[in-house]
Amino acid sequence: TQSTWGELGSHVHEVMLLVLVLATVLPTAPFSIPQPGSLANFGKCNISDLEVVKVPSIGSQFHDSGITARDVLNHVMRSLPSMQLLPLELTSLMSSDGRLSKPVVSVIGGEPGELLLAMAAFEKTSERQLSPLQVSSILSEYILSTSRPKFHYQVDTLVLENLCRKMKFCHPQFRLDRPPLNMMNALKQQLILPENQGCAHFAHLLQYPVEFGIRVELTQSFITAFFDLLWGFPQNRLGRQAMSLIQSKIDLVVLQGRHSERGLLIVRTTSCSPNHIPALIPELSDMSLTLDYEDAALFDMIGLSSLLGRVWLKWGLIASEKSSPSVALLQQMKVHREKMVQAARDLDGGRTATFSVQWPAYCCATRQY
């Protein structure tokens, strides 16, 4: 479950589950645009429209968790009364985590993970390493330019317990969103450690930088830049109005409880308009699933490659004669995501039961019915 700072309690945690994301070829076809009144057809969505398919294990071993495609379908159907059809451009992307008990659209690493992927693609394409100041500048520019209401970064109560044990930074005496000035530097040193990540993807990036293809220094700079912005002391110079807007949009999400995900569900939404993406609930009363919206990740990559392409030109970097910076960055992001997916699969070793669902047009109210 997700908490505010005032609701935090003490919980015993287990080691994070490895988040397995199945590598697939992302679609390049344009999304359909919903016709006026098409939401009236949502009533035609029923259980026969939805089909959950179990994905064969790719790892060397497969440990059957006892979950079946029917179990996953029942979970999805129970989510339908609370499901929301959300516009991707205005919807904050959450990290793929089964401890969320509200309708979400989630991708590997969430919105921060997507932006960090774009920065890694920028480094690969430009053959230049981003400095901490440049990372901070890009993060600030993204938050200022995005139409999404919030930029969520995820921690959990295990992180807070570690901070309390290691440096006596204990809740409720101290709050991670507003720490004392004299503790900020020590906190940042702790918050770039793998064991102090509330998102499994960021822990993997810090533990296995070679396998995931992202410099550990780049990941550390990104995490540091987020907390600098959250606390009001960014490395890059920002005006008062810009700083106020950024701080109104960044959000430190605290997840509680143990990981209890029984499987991964890949949600494919190629039949849906990007204005009507079905947001499902990962955690219900008796079952938790990790959700990965792979088509939402593609949508996000397109926007991020455009942003980083503008940064490329603003910084006066030389573009390839064959393609624009945005096109080259998008292609690199796709390739890099597949590399990270493969790394996650290798780490998981086939332990996670994986399923997929192709969301039908009727059930997201597009014109393709």
CA atoms in the 13 A half-sphere facing the CB of 209: 12
213 Ramachandran zone, left/alpha/beta (phi>0; psi -120 to 50) = left
Distance between CA atoms of residues 242 and 145, nearest Å: 11
Given a cut of 50, the residues of the chain with pLDDT beneath it are: 2-41, 59-63, 366-369
Question: How far apart, in whole angstroms, are the C-alpha atoms of residue 47 and residue 72?
Answer: 12
Contact 22, 355 (CB under 8 A): no
The Cα–Cα gap between 272 and 27 comes to: 13
Coil, strand or helix: which one is 271? coil
How long a stretch of residues is the chain? 369
Q: Contact 33/203 with Cβ under 8 angstroms?
A: no
Task: Count Cα atoms within 13 angstroms, Cβ side, for 231.
Answer: 21
DSSP string, 209-250: HHHHT--HHHHHHHHHHHHHHHHT--SS---HHHHHHHHHHE
pLDDT for residue 329: 96
Mapping DSSP to helix (H, G, I), strand (E, B) and coil, where does residue 124 land? helix
Say how far apart CA 136 and CA 228 lie, in whole Å: 9
CB-count burial class (<10 Å; 0-12, 13-18, 19+) for 366 = buried
d(CA 246, CA 77): 37
Cross-strand bridge partners of residue 84 = 279
Nearest Cα residue to 354 out of 3, 58, 25: 58
Contact between 34 and 273 (Cβ < 8 Å): yes
d(CA 32, CA 30): 7
Tokens of residue 90, six digits? 């205005």
CB 75 within 8 A of CB 262: no
Residue 351's nearest CA partner among 18, 53, 21, 14 is 18
Sign of CA dihedral 362, 355, 120, 163: positive
How does DSSP assign 160-216, residue by residue? HHHHHHHH---TTTS-TTS--GGGHHHHHHHHTSGGG-SSHHHHHHHH-HHHHT--H
Cβ–Cβ under 8 Å, residues 78 and 239: no
Helices (H), 216-366: 216-231, 240-249, 294-314, 325-348
Q: Which amino acid makes up residue 180?
A: P
Two structure tokens written together for 307: 């942003």
Partnered with residue 297 across adjacent β-strands are: none
Residue 98 is predicted with a pLDDT of 85
Q: What is the pLDDT of residues 270-304, one digit of tens each?
A: 989 899 999 999 998 888 999 999 999 999 999 99
